[in-house]
Each structure stands twice: as structure tokens, then as C-alpha cells.
Structure 1
Amino acid sequence: MTDTTPSDNWLQSRHDQWNTPPTLMNDYVRKATGSTIAQSSRVILGLDNEVYDVTTTDNHHFIVRISHKDEPRFEAERWALNAARSAGVPTPRVLLVEQATYDNISVTFCIEEKLPGKPLDVLLKDGLNSDLNKAIDQIGEMLGKLHSVRIDGFGYLQPDGKGGETSFADIMLMANERESELYEAAKKWNVPTQNVTTGLALLNTHRELYQFNAPVLVHGDFGARHIFVDGNHVSGFIDMQDCSGNHPIIDFVMWDAYWSELVPTSRLMASYDNKGLFTGSYDILFHLVLLRESLIMLMVHARREQRHGVQDFITNMERALRYFAS
């Protein structure tokens, strides 16, 4: 019997709300691949999409993601995956992005090739071995290639691969602009008001560190579940719906906040080509980004009425505050 956690149960119940008819899915798989579904299995991962692992009658493998959002950002992700691949990062090819309707429900299909191998977090459950160590030592190098893609503008990518009319400073001070919402979220999650006040003051005080004007392609949700490994090599990066034009430090903070217990961030830094990123005010900016991420996510989860994950945000916020208090 498999043990389940409250987080697992919450995620399962969220996915149970989505049930696209198999006949409709088969129609779009045929449209994308020229073949029909021989076998499919539901994948309960992620918060935003209904996902299926599909094998077609001609024995090819695909991932079908179905978004129930109005703006799923699949086209922006397709642009990012293509740009990353051109820069030397293996990524799945997106074959189709198209809207559909059933029972007065609007959805968007995204059908892409399935990468060989398995997610790194799944493989690590069996412990490290020589093959995995070789693959892990490639991650930083590939992340550097991803960050070599220059982006016109900051913020979430648009379908044409451009960012928005914002700045890195605007992004870093987003929590400050939503102060009342943040205090409400803090109250909901029993976060001391003084911690929020101190955090906002720190973000405001270090404005001079936000004068960064060279946005690059950032994954936005960079972690072990989005890195596929096949044998002793990384077979690709997946799931770039949160891609943006941003500071490359963002991906290192995301890894450190949520995945460094599995693989220390220092191992990514060791093979990352641009060592200059880690000099100067890197540590200060790192902890400011960590603080900003934590405060924003407290609001996101309050809006979603989503308790699981909140303690991680509080822990990361407290870690950042301790850094500046020392």
C-alpha cells in the first residue's frame, strides 16, 4: 500500500475535477501525430494541467497536457522550448497547441513529444549512483545554455518570445505594491506582521541591486521534476509555462528553495559557465529574491485557499530574514 500525504490528496482532488472526454483527446492526438491512441495513463503532477502519457498505435510516445485556464501560456512555452533547443538544451517538440470545447467547457490542448528517461526527482528516490552523478554534473552547463538566450523585455513571455513593459525592479518590488493583500495573507497563515514589515523594508532598501537591464530566458519553475535523465545524461528540460525574461539568479533561487536537499545548488553552480554571476552582490540579491518569492507565494496560496506548501514559503522567508539580521 502506498502512503499518501495531505499534499497528495489535495493534488488528486484538484485533478479529479478535470475529465476531458477520451474521444476528444483521441481526435487531437490524431490531428497532432497522424495516429490514434493505443494506450494512455493519467499523470497526477503539477497544479495547472490535466496530463496524460500517451502511446499511439504506431508505438510513439507523447505527452498530452490540457489546460482549463483562459490563458494557459502554451504558445509562449513553445517559443521558449524552441529557443532553448536552438541554444543546445534538449527539450520536447510541441506538435500542437489548439483550443477545444466540450459540454460548454473550453480547454486548450498542448501535445508534445515525450522525452526519453525519467524525471530526476523520481530517479533520486533510489539514491545516487555513478550515472546520476554524471547527469547531475551536466545540469548547470545546460542551465547556462538556457540563460544564453536573450529576451526583449522582462516578465512572462508572450507568444512571440518577448517579455513585457516592466523592469527587474518592478518585479522585485511587486510584493511592496500589494502590501494590503500580503498582510491579509500573512494573517491567514499566522505569519507575524513584523516579519512582513521587515521583509518589505528590506526589498525596498536594496533598490540599487535591481538595476539589471539584460533579461535572459529563465525557466521559472526550475527543479528536479522538470529535468529528465536517461542513463548518464540529461535528456531534457520540460514544463516551461512559467518562462520569462528575467535575471538568471531566479532559477538558482528556485532550485535552492525547493530542491537543494536533493541536489545541492553548489553542484549546479560548479558546471554553470558564467561564474561571474556568483560574484559581487550575488548573496545579497539571492536572499532578496528568495524573500520576494516567499512573500508572493504566500499571497498566491491564500488566493487559492491552498495550504500545502505554505510552510516551505514561511521557512524560506525566515531564512532570508535571518541572513539580513546576521
Structure 2
Amino acid sequence: MATPVATIDSVVRAVCGRGVERLVPLAGGGMNETYRAELGRDVAVVVRIARQPTPWFVDEARLMTKVREVGVPTAEVLGLEHQVHNEELLSFSVQEFLPGISLAECVGAVPAAELERLVIDAGEALARVHSVAPGDDQYLRHQLRSPDEREVARVERIVAEALGPEAAVTVERGADFLRRELTTRTAPLPSLVHGDFCPKNILIHEGAVVGLIDWEFAGLSAPAYDFAQWEVDAGDPVHDRSDLVRRGYARVADPESADAGWTPGFAVGWALEKLGWKNPATPAQFRRCVDVIARHSDVLRQGGPSGGG
């Protein structure tokens, strides 16, 4: 627990008017500390703490309000606080506590038909996210860029060491595929995106999707960015069931129009980025990245069309 309990308690008191009786670390939360703060009388809040050089969570809070207004289930941000502790800026986001478990935890724990229904419902929520007009605010932008040759060479070496020379060739084909997509296709129109759309950030309670959580990377990009993250990051067995996400999406909007054929490009771009992380992804994620690149770059090699997964 990096942040002193007394400091967290003072922030919660300032926001909620009550002190912390018990503090429970929560898994996930991305780069941040995340806790459930129990205030007594069955009342709890979530406290997220970021260490960044500038005030954090401000855009996240604004976007969470916007998506809640169009029916996306997500927590209410009760208050933001920023304090300097030991010459370091700490940003606090105190949020409504939503009971439940992640969709990732439901895999293997609920019947297959139930899991499919939940993924479909998550797809509907995603369409509502993409329906939000972000306005003139300067949010984080997720842009697809042409692969840098030196970075690709570095990733090839990493992959060759981990998975062998054939996998390294797949990386090279993926970079060629992405360059072709960027030079031959019309750039996609941006919308609001969640930025980390995968089962770990979909909260389930009593058989229903009750929250999309962790909006830290929400911002502007093509809707295909979220589709691609699902394909790369959702995990077995649902990473190959983008059709279920799109079925739910179709309750609100046309997924093919939203995708505009850009999911393969964003999936390859995201996979290449993850393969080059200084803190490596898990072995399963590493293998998945190479498999996703192979799937889409093989389409290019065979002369087939690119399109959504």
C-alpha cells in the first residue's frame, strides 16, 4: 500500500463526509492504486490514486458523465482531489462502488450461453459509448501510425527469441500489412472510445452488465480501436467472438459502418505495440499478438480483402 492510509482517509472524508473504516486493495486499476474504502453502514466507495506530473482523472470523470447520460452503465465520480505528498503529485478519484465481478472472472464460471449473452450486452454498451459526441474538449487520441523500421526490427528480435524465426517473419508481414492499410485506405472518422474494452473492465452483477470501468484511456479514435482491443486482449475463449460484440452493437448502430474495415489495421497496430513493451505481456498475450498479426497479414499475402474480425 504505497499511499498512507491517513492520506486516503482525509481525501475520502473531504469527498464523502465520512472516514474510512476499512481499506481493501482491488485487483486491476491499470497503472494506479485502487481500493474499496468501506465507510460503515454497508456504504463503500472506490478510491483510485494516480502518480502523474499533472492532475489526473479529470478527463476520465468528464467522459464517464457523458457516457452515463446515454445509458452506458458506469460509476458516478463523487469527487476528485489532488495533493502533493513527499514532493509527488497524487491524484485521487473517489467513485461510486459497483458490486460485481469482471466478465473475465465469469469465463469458465458461468454456462457458455450465459457468457455469450453477457458479451452481447457488452457490445450494446460499447455502441452507446461510440454514440457520444465528445465535443471540443482535447481528449487523449489513439492514432494509428506507420510502423518505425527500427522498432519493428527490435520487436522481430524479441519475438524470434521467444517464439522462433517464423514468428519474427510474421511480425515483418504485419508491419507491411499496416503500412499498406495506412497508405491505401481513407482515414477513419474518430468517435469516443473506451480505450481498454475487454472483459476485465466489464462488471457483472446478478447476471447483468452493471458497469464499464477503468476509463483512464478513453478518448478519441476510430470505433475499430475498441473492436481491435477486444480481439487482441479479451482472452480465450471470447477473443474470437467479436461476432457477439457486434451482435449487441447492432441493437444501437450498424457495427460494419462503425468498423469501416479498420479493425484489422488497429488489431495489428496494437499487437505490434504490445510485443514491444519494456514490461512484457504474459506468454498467452504474447502468443495471441503474433496469432492476430498472422491472421490479418496472411489475408494480405493471399490477396484477400481486409475487414472486421
Normalising by the smaller structure, the TM-score range is 0.7 to 0.9
What's the CA shift for 1:72? Answer: 7.0
Q: Partner of 2:134 in structure 1? A: 151
Alpha carbons of 1:63 and 1:278: their partners in 2 closer, same or farther (altered >3 Å)? same
CA distance in 1, matches of 2:112, 2:244: 15
CA drift at 1:202: 2.0
Map of 1:1-326 to 2, 5 A cutoff? 19-71=2-54, 73-128=56-111, 134-152=117-135, 161-163=137-139, 171-172=143-144, 174-176=145-147, 178-190=148-160, 194-206=169-181, 207-213=183-189, 215-259=190-234, 261-263=236-238, 264-273=241-250, 276-278=254-256, 282=260, 285-299=262-276, 301-302=277-278, 305-308=279-282, 309-326=285-302
In structure 1, C-alpha distance between the alignment counterparts of 2:38 and 2:270, rounded to whole Å: 38
Q: Secondary structure at the match of 1:228?
A: strand
SS at match of 1:235: strand
TM-aligned CA deviation for residue 261 of structure 1: 2.8
Give the Å deviation of 1:307: 5.0
Partner of 2:307: none
Partner amino acid, structure 1, of 2:275: L
Q: Return closer, same or farther for 1:313/1:128 CA change in 2, 3 Å cut-off.
A: same
Residue 280 of structure 1 deviates from its aligned partner by 11
Task: State the match for 1:14 in structure 2.
Answer: none
Distance 1:43 1:143, change over 3 A: same
Counterpart Cα distance in 1 of 2:188 and 2:71: 25
Gapped regions of structure 2 (runs ≥ 5)? 303-309
- Seen in structure 2, the aligned counterparts of structure 1 residues 261 and 201 have a Cα distance that, compared at 3 Å, is same
Deviation at 1:93, TM superposition (A): 1.0
Q: Could you say if the C-alpha distance between residues 280 and 27 of structure 1 is closer, same or farther in structure 2, counting changes exceeding 3 Å?
A: closer
Counterpart amino acid of residue 239 in structure 1: D
Report the AA paired with residue 183 of structure 1. A
The alpha-carbon deviation at position 47 of structure 1 amounts to: 3.6
Which amino acid letter does the alignment assign opposite residue 83 of structure 1? K
Provide the C-alpha distance between the structure 2 equivalents of 1:163 and 1:20, rounded to a whole number of angstroms: 28
Deviations for 1:112-164, whole angstroms, at most 9, x for unmatched residues? 11113222222334122776555443222211111101235xxxxxxx74346
Return the letter of the residue paired with 1:42.
P
Paired with 1:90 and 1:67, the residues of 2 have a C-alpha distance of: 23
Q: Distance in 2 between matches of 1:202 and 1:130?
A: 35
Question: In the alignment, residue 96 of structure 2 is paired with which amino acid?
Answer: E
Task: Assess, with a 3 A threshold, how the Cα gap between structure 1 residues 281 and 63 changes in structure 2: closer, same or farther.
Answer: closer
Look up the equivalent residue of 2:209 and give its one-letter code.
V
The count of aligned residue pairs is 291
Could you tell which deviates more after superposition, 77-86 or 42-51? 42-51
1:27 partner amino acid:
S
Cα displacement (A) at 1:24: 0.5
Letter aligned with residue 77 of structure 1: E
1:106 and 1:125, CA in 2 relative to 1: closer, same or farther beyond 3 A? farther
Q: Distance in 2 between matches of 1:287 and 1:133?
A: 23
5+ residue gaps, structure 1: 1-17, 153-159
- Given that 1:182 and 1:298 are in contact with CA atoms closer than 8 Å, whether structure 2 keeps it comes out as no
The answer (yes or no) to whether the contact 1:139–1:234 under 8 Å persists in 2 is yes
Partner secondary structure for residue 21 of structure 2: strand
Displacement of 1:52 after TM fit?
Answer: 0.8
1:275 Cα shift?
5.6
Letter in 2 for 1:143: L
Q: Percent identity?
A: 22
Compute the RMSD of aligned alpha carbons: 2.7
Change (3 A) 1:99 1:210: farther
Secondary structure of 1:96's match?
Answer: strand
CA distance in 2, matches of 1:311, 1:134: 27
- Normalised by the size of structure 2, how large is the TM-score? 0.83
Structure 1 residues 73 and 181, CA gap change in structure 2 (3 angstroms): farther
Residues 81 and 240, structure 1, Cα contact 8 Å, conserved in 2: yes
Change (3 A) 1:118 1:35: same
* 1:180 alignment partner AA: R
1:175 Cα offset (Å)? 4.3
1:218–1:73 CA distance, 2 compared to 1 (3 A): farther
